[in-house]
Structure 1
Amino acid sequence: MTKFFLLFNTVKYLKPIQLFYRLYRTLFKPKVTDSWRRKELNQTSLWIHHTFYDETLLGFEEANFLNCNRPLSFPESWNDESPGKLWVYNLHYFEDFLCHASSNKEKFHIDFFDKWIDGNPLGKGNGWEPYPISLRISNVLKAWLGGLNLQERHFQSIYMQASFLSNDLEKHLLGNHYFVNLKALLFAGIVFDKQTWSEVAINGLLKEIPEQINTDGGYFELTPMYHSMILVDMLDMYNLLRAFPERSSKEFIDLIELYVPKMIWFMEQMHHLDGEVSFFNDSAIGIAPSKNTIMSYAKKLGFEPSLEQTDSLLLEDFADSGYMVASSEKLKLIFDAARVGPDYIPGHAHADTLSFELSIGKERVIVNSGTSQYGMSEQRLLERKTVSHNTVEIDGKDSSQVWSGFRVAKRAKITERRCRVDSGNILMEAAHDGYKTLFGGVIHKRFLDLSCDTLTIKDSFSGVYNSAVSRFYFHPSLKVFLDDDILHVVGDAFKMKSNLSGLDVSLKSTKWHPEFGVSIPNSCLNIKTSDSNLELTFEWKTK
């Protein structure tokens, strides 16, 4: 019965179109419906080329994806899922075609593409699934526009892949998968001057961009990592439309120009002062291009960065997305007062409602546990659970019912939220009903009071419960220890302490996962309570 309710509370949020296409995909298989005819394709000087990635293909014998080095043996490696399906997917993305060393790898990339064509028969295997097809089409055509000398068989392959994709758009999923499907179809449609593809792509994106990009610029799946990836997609499409003005749409260009500046600002705010992404929902370093890489690309396309930070604490309330950010040149705090994500696609959500992250200077201090893997493992589930985040777990339950690899049943809803600046301090407050039930339960409310050298956290619990555990995870580079009732946290450029007298505390050894395939020992402060209120203050001095 428990599994039934999990499934019911998951499926009930789906859109009718998702249910329809789930059935459709079981009855009808995609196929190529467009015939290749030899075309004279010319690279345009208007394309602004940019590289994004570190090198991942180390010759034909070895590849490194997700911090996992594996030997290659073709054609078997194309569908060998022993290192994980996501690892194999990466083999089919062809991101190495846009790596920083790509200008010295042209012959290898051409030979690699030949090997892919020979080893991946039409419609068979991982390489023909719509998400890898979408990334590969865009990456190969971007590399060609940047100077890669493709031959007719390569263009024919990309054309057939685009035709296959046009009959396999991921409307059963929607979200970022459908977005990159449409982007790939746009690239193929414009490069090959195939109007039916470009029209499907543009008409779809004119609807999806306002749907998937919130009014404050945040990506609606509410993961900073995917936000960066979608921002690159937006910049790529803008670049493409400017490179082929005779095949573009003014309405579409205007829409991108409206959203990109807001997306850049959101990205800047959701990154820490070390220049890397924050860990809310599915986020990790090294998957999306870095902030500096994206900003360099944006500048080439004419989008200027926002104003630099100041000494004073500034407050940014992304009310539509839900995050609140307090920042200065020396401090950043990001507070998750957001919903778990869009109702119909919360697959990248974590049960992290009312968690926060704190940086002092370029040192991360209080960190969520991160994301090290996808799939169906116990580790994947653990990383999504409330216990892995800087928030409160009540009676051993999750604030939102995360399950399986990418499922969420009952979801926490924000019942109130507000923030303001008061005498130089940043005050943030929010509450959620994730622990509320038909027969009682608890409303969790959190209040944060941040100054340039103190942070006070006040948690209150309205309702009946047995016990609550508030957790604070610290970056592994820090020295963290308890001395009597005083918590000490020592970094390279600061010293922090907190008086924990009267509280039931323990310091646990845990793991931090800043990248896929990476687990680093760190420390977590656990505070147990059965009272209706819990309060503590962190104070620090910079060296």
Structure 2
Amino acid sequence: MVLKNLLISDKCALEKIRIIRYRLRKKRYMQKKMVKKNSKVTKYHYFTENLFFFNEKSIQTYCDNYKHAIISESDRILGNEYRDISGGYIKIGERVDWNKDYIFDHKWELKHYSRYILKDKKVSTDVKHVWELSRFYHLVVLAQAYQITNNEDYVEKIIDDVFTWSEQNPINNSVNWTVSMEVSIRVVNLIQALSLVRKSNSFNKEMRIKLNELIYMHGVYVWNNLEKGLSTNNHYLSNLVGLIWIGVYFKGSKLIHFNNISKKYLKFAFNQLIYELQYQINDDGFSYEDSVSYHGLNTEMILLTLNILEKNNISYPIELKMTATRMVEALQKLLINQKHIPLIGDVDNGRLIICNLLSNSDKTNFSYLIKIAKEMCLLKESELLHSPVLLSTSGIYRVFNKTFDIIIKCGRIGLNGLGGHAHNDQLSLVLNIHGEQIIVDPGTGYYSGDYELRRLLRSTDSHSTLFINNYEQNDIDIGMFKMIERTNSETLEVNENTFEGRHFGYLDTHGIEYIRKIKLYQDNIVILDSVSRLIEKEAFINFIFDDNVTLMKIDETNVEIKKNGLKVLLSIEGGTINILDQYISKSYGKTKQSNKVRITMESKNLKSIIRMK
């Protein structure tokens, strides 16, 4: 029987290997087939005349207030000084190595994209560092600088970077060809940059031919490697967006083959986008991945894509516009001080293009999308929000008054219960007082760049909620982007000054049902945390504080909180207070030392009062 089981297991493994090999052979055949078709385009030397998000006219609208910043940034790029994913700068020598992680000093060797292992705990690197540079965000900044100054040096830098990148990244054979999302974002930025510099005298006929060929081959790759699995996410949305931008680029081309490609991509992407947005966007307008940052990225991708369709008088399904409106409305409801997102769920700083260089220095600032949506008539002029704000399907609630502003997570976890970019943050809260961030979500840190940090900042212990020692509210140890849901959170009451909810994350392990009730008054907040069963010295309530907050423990039940002249007192009944170290990450790849208040529950009911001093 054992031998039989082993034989069956071996047969299953062999069958899986056979299927994988078949799929790889098919992909390589398709790539070769499309490369042969490429012979039809090798002499096409015209840049498109179609319009994209930035053009000669819109540069004045979007860049007028920060022209000096664009020129300053572009001059740094001329000196091979590039922004990294965290918003800092990387100083590179004379020649850029487009396959090198400059943060971890790791070089990715060239091989077929199917042979890479992107998540390897034995190797100290984060492939996102390489991808970020190869997304070509900086090309758009250089192109904007050219529009402002007519300085051909900026165009020559674009040409040099694109062609050295092409030399170092043969089609299908580098780490920059492993994920279609990266290919899609790269081609969008390449198209946007070229549309701004197409009248430059720095291009010769051969360069134009090669650049058109490069755009074409990016489309071939995305078309043959669509990231559509059992559960799709922002990756597949980016693939569809990339195909639309390529379709717009080649629309009206003098080459019949390019025109056919344009029609093919646009028709397919429109049909798929309608379905995907119905699937990925909840009824309340929020993305089902359970991350405010990724919702911002998705909103940007859809807004900018609809924007270029309208600029080129390309009709598209009305359903896309209706969904885009709901998405931007959901984003607006969560902006703190009408600018910043709360760091609920993962934060990887992703953008489609850099729409606003100034806001890009703060990766939590999404106010520029509100401005774009208003210009596209998707939003009315800002209306005052009224408490409570409900994104009920997504499980995000906001209760506020003139002094306090609280955002609470209480609902199903991301990807319909599979996890995705969700954290163990059920019944966790974010608190702002008079516009100052006081209690925060810890952010993300890294993905594969630091596995321990990734797990730590995703864990229950790093969120402002109930934590049972050594136990998670949902199982996060099954994968970097996976969870097993146990919390099954429920909202019990929400009104203009009250929130109450519960979860069952510790019911199976400890027989505990957890209820949290928050009540807002003009000069204080009362938080009531209740557990159905007390485990002495094992049950804690955490509050994670912003790194600019100063905490001073007065005694076992009182802590003074200070920030920028603001003074607040935290007092508790039913427990004892300790102040511990805590990492937080406001930007991917960047961490800061902060603190958390850990309250040991000594009763089944804990009362926390936060009052102004």
TM norm. shorter chain > 0.5? yes
Q: Which residue of 2 aligns with 1:43?
A: 49
1:537–1:236 distance in 2 versus 1, CA, 3 Å: same
Match for residue 215 of structure 1?
283
Indicate which of 128, 138, 141 corresponds to 2:188. Answer: 138
Task: Indicate if the aligned counterparts of 1:280 and 1:370 stay in contact, CA closer than 8 A.
Answer: yes
Deviation at 1:413, TM superposition (A): 3.7
Instruction: Report Cα offsets for 1:432-464 as digits up to 9, x if no partner.
Output: 122222x76322221111223221111122257
Q: Which residue of the partner structure matches residue 354 of structure 1?
A: 427
Return the letter of the residue paired with 1:208. E
In structure 2, relative to structure 1, the CA distance for the partners of 1:22 and 1:483 (3 Å cut) is farther
TM-score, normalization by structure 2: 0.76
Partner of residue 125, structure 1: 174
2:457 aligned with 1:383: yes
Q: Distance in 2 between matches of 1:305 and 1:99?
A: 30
Q: Quick one: which of 475, 499, 511 aligns to 1:428?
A: 499
**Residue 78 (1) aligns with residue 128 (2):** no
Q: Distance in 2 between matches of 1:490 and 1:412?
A: 36
Q: Which amino acid aligns with 1:522?
A: S
Which stretches in structure 2 are left out of the alignment for 5+ residues?
Answer: 1-17, 64-68, 107-124, 147-153, 252-260, 350-359
Do the aligned residues in 2 keep the contact of 1:273 with 1:361 (CA within 8 Å)?
Answer: no
1:337 aligns with 2:401: no
1:115 is paired with a residue whose SS is: helix
**1:97-496 alignment, distance < 5 Å:** 97-99=139-141, 102-104=144-146, 105-129=154-178, 130-148=180-198, 151-172=208-229, 174-193=232-251, 194=261, 195-245=263-313, 247-249=314-316, 251=317, 254-273=318-337, 275-283=339-347, 290-305=365-380, 307-309=382-384, 314-328=387-401, 330-343=403-416, 346-375=419-448, 377-403=451-477, 406-421=480-495, 426-437=497-508, 441-463=511-533, 465=535, 467-484=538-555, 485-496=557-568
1:300 maps to amino acid? E
Distance 1:277 1:23 in 2: 44
Change in Cα spacing, 1:224 to 1:525, as seen in structure 2 (3 Å) is same
> How far is the alpha carbon of 1:258 from its aligned partner?
0.8
| SS at 1:229 equivalent | helix
Q: Is the 8 A contact 1:487 1:500 kept in 2?
A: no
Cα displacement (A) at 1:259: 1.9
Instruction: For 1:391 and 1:100, locate their aligned partners in 2 and report how far apart those are by CA, in whole Å.
Output: 45
Give the residue type in structure 2 aligned to 1:301.
M
Contact 1:413 1:432 in 2 (8 A): yes
Q: What's the secondary structure of 1:160's corresponding residue?
A: helix
Distance 2:100 2:595 in 1: 37
Where do 1:18-37 residues align within 5 Å?
28-29=26-27, 31=31, 33-34=33-34, 35-36=37-38, 37=41
Q: Distance in 2 between matches of 1:24 and 1:303?
A: 46
Change (3 A) 1:273 1:46: closer
- Structure with bigger gyration radius: 2
- The amino acid across from 1:29 in the alignment is K
Task: Report the Cα distance in structure 2 between the residues aligned to 1:355 and 1:120, rounded to whole angstroms.
Answer: 44
Q: Deviations over 1:157-176 (max 9, x none)?
A: 01011112100011136201
CA 1:267–1:240: 2 relative to 1, 3 Å: same
RMSD, aligned α-carbons: 3.0
List per-residue Cα deviations over 1:517-536 (Å, max 9, x = no partner). 32222221100125322221
Distance 1:419 1:96, change over 3 A: farther
Shift of 1:493: 4.6
1:504 aligns with 2:576: yes
Matches of 1:321 and 1:224 in 2, distance apart? 11
Offset at 1:346?
Answer: 2.5
Q: CA deviation at 1:358?
A: 0.7
Q: Secondary structure at the match of 1:445?
A: strand
Change (3 A) 1:47 1:510: closer
Which residue in the other structure is 1:62 paired with? 81
The structural deviation recorded for 1:73 is 5.9
Aligned length, in residue pairs: 512
1:98 partner amino acid: V
CA distance in 2, matches of 1:27, 1:526: 56
User: Which of 116, 121, 131 is 1:89 aligned to?
Assistant: 131
Partner of 2:115: none
Which is worse superposed, 377-386 or 45-54? 45-54
User: Per the alignment, in what secondary structure is the counterpart of residue 303 of structure 1?
Assistant: coil
Q: 1:328 to 1:29 in 2, by over 3 A?
A: farther
| C-alpha contact (below 8 Å) 2:219/2:243 kept by paired residues | yes
Q: How far off is 1:515 after superposition?
A: 1.2
Q: Where does the alignment leave 5 or more consecutive residues of structure 1 unmatched?
A: 1-19
Q: Deviations over 1:46-100 (max 9, x none)?
A: 8554669985973363323133543446877222242521110101111112338
Shift of 1:248: 3.4
CA distance in 1, matches of 2:327, 2:273: 16
Q: What's the offset of the Cα at 1:486?
A: 2.2
How big is the shift at 1:538? Answer: 0.7
Distance 1:429 1:133, change over 3 A: same
